[in-house]
Amino acid sequence: MHHHPCASICASLALCVPMLRADMLKDSPVKFPDKGALPSKYPPDVKTPRESPEKDYSIFGTPERSLAQLAKIRAEMVKGTFTPPPTDWQWLPRTRQTLTEGGDLHILAFGDSIVADTMRSAWLAKLGEAYPKAKIIGTVYVRGGGGCQHYKDEQRIQKNILPRKPDLVFIGGISQRDVGAIRECIHQLRAGLPKLEILLASGAFGSNADPRLPAELAKAPHSGSAPYGAELKQLAAGEHCAYLDMTTPWAEYLNSAKVHPHIFYRDRVHANECGEQILSQILLEFFRPSAP
């Protein structure tokens, strides 16, 4: 019988992280299927609208989980800690005002399957709990392996994002090929929505880089600790976007949890529902209510 990745695992597994190797599968207590992913213990319990604007692309509503379901998942999670990322409100003044004073806030995230997982964490439901005056709606626009190199072409931003008039756009994931394509998407977004606020985030999960090995994580192309992270931060400053390094707090959580990282994965690349909640907690810390 395989342990469900969310379940508490026996102390011997939990405390024994063997010799750290580049191949996380070698010391993994979790057996992933050869094809597909481990079944979800908590399939999303909220139905949201879903459409496919073209082959390989999906657009759907979020949050897809209820607060009750989130409470169950979080109660079962192996606990960890991380240093809260700095809350970067400088380029998110309208978002901050709506959250604190009330009004409609439409958050749209686009990218790859990691972005889909991040949004499936239903962090927007928790954000609404933290800011009860705001009415938050969310939209997710994704394709497998989708980075800005895909979204900048074929009028995708003009057809699928601008008409939805989001207030805040989240761009993240592990599939960005270069910051030039991200810059191009920012320019297209702002050409149609001049007041749009944007949050750029580095990646988490997604590669064979072992989060227990900082040197290996720093080689992952999407990592906040890689040259990409520095370039993304620089791009954010130059384009007046907020920046969030998700890689570092994610790795800190996994390491402090004292279990094999795969306890938080559903396959070799993607988070399970507990792993999603790590991403949720990072975003919620970034947006945490703070004194003005």
Cβ(117)–Cβ(96) below 8 Å: no
Residue 31 lies in a domain: no
Residue with tokens 């993240």: 172
Residue 14 lies in a domain: no
Residues with pLDDT less than 50, the chain? 1-5, 7-21
Residue 20 lies in a domain: no
Residue 15 lies in a domain: no
Could you give phi then psi for residue 271, rounded to 5 degrees? -70, 145
User: What tens digit of pLDDT does each residue of 192-233 get?
Assistant: 999 999 999 999 998 778 999 999 999 999 999 999 999 999
Residue 10 lies in a domain: no
Residue by residue, what is the 3-state secondary structure of 125-189? HHHHHHCCCEEEEEEEEEECCCCHHHHCCCCHHHHHHHHHCCCEEEECCCCCCCHHHHHHHHHHH
Residue 135 lies in a domain: yes
User: What tens digit of pLDDT does each residue of 49-86 get?
Assistant: 999 999 999 999 999 999 999 999 999 999 999 999 99
Residue 209 lies in a domain: yes
Range of the structural domain that residue 158 is part of: 45-75+84-286
CATH of the domain at 266: 3.40.50.1110
* Per-residue pLDDT, 291: 53
The total number of structural domains in the chain stands at 1
Residue 134 lies in a domain: yes
Amino acid at 147: G
* Per-residue pLDDT, 133: 98
pTM of the model: 0.92
